[in-house]
Amino acid sequence: METVQELIPLARELMAQRPNRKVLKLYVLGGVLAFVGMVIGLVETVCSPFTAASRLRDEEAAVAELQAAQERKSLAIQTLREKSKQQEAVLCSRAPSIRQHAS
């Protein structure tokens, strides 16, 4: 059944054959499930741009957070390096001065 126009002849044919209640219930259940599936697909199609936009925003926020964490980490490493260089410079400057006075 490719079009809705085929449903009416099918329904007439089913009613002409006088199906029992179980078969009729099965056809109704199948039709209801198909309709529910169609509605869910339509809702998903309509709402997909909004969910894609929110996913994109969440992704961008996560990337920005990771970049900020990397920047903080690199700044912390840089400050540690500078402090260690200053300490080495202080130690190196003291050593020759001590030798000059000791000799």
Cα–Cα distance for residue pair 26/31, rounded to 1 Å: 9
Cα–Cα distance for residue pair 53/61, rounded to 1 Å: 12
pLDDT at position 4 over 80: no
pLDDT at position 98 over 60: no
Answering whether pTM is above 0.85, one says no
pLDDT at position 1 over 60: no
Could you tell me if 53 and 60 are in contact, meaning their C-beta atoms sit under 8 angstroms apart? no
Sign of the C-alpha dihedral, residues 39, 40, 43, 46?
negative
Could you tell me if 14 and 27 are in contact, meaning their C-beta atoms sit under 8 angstroms apart? yes
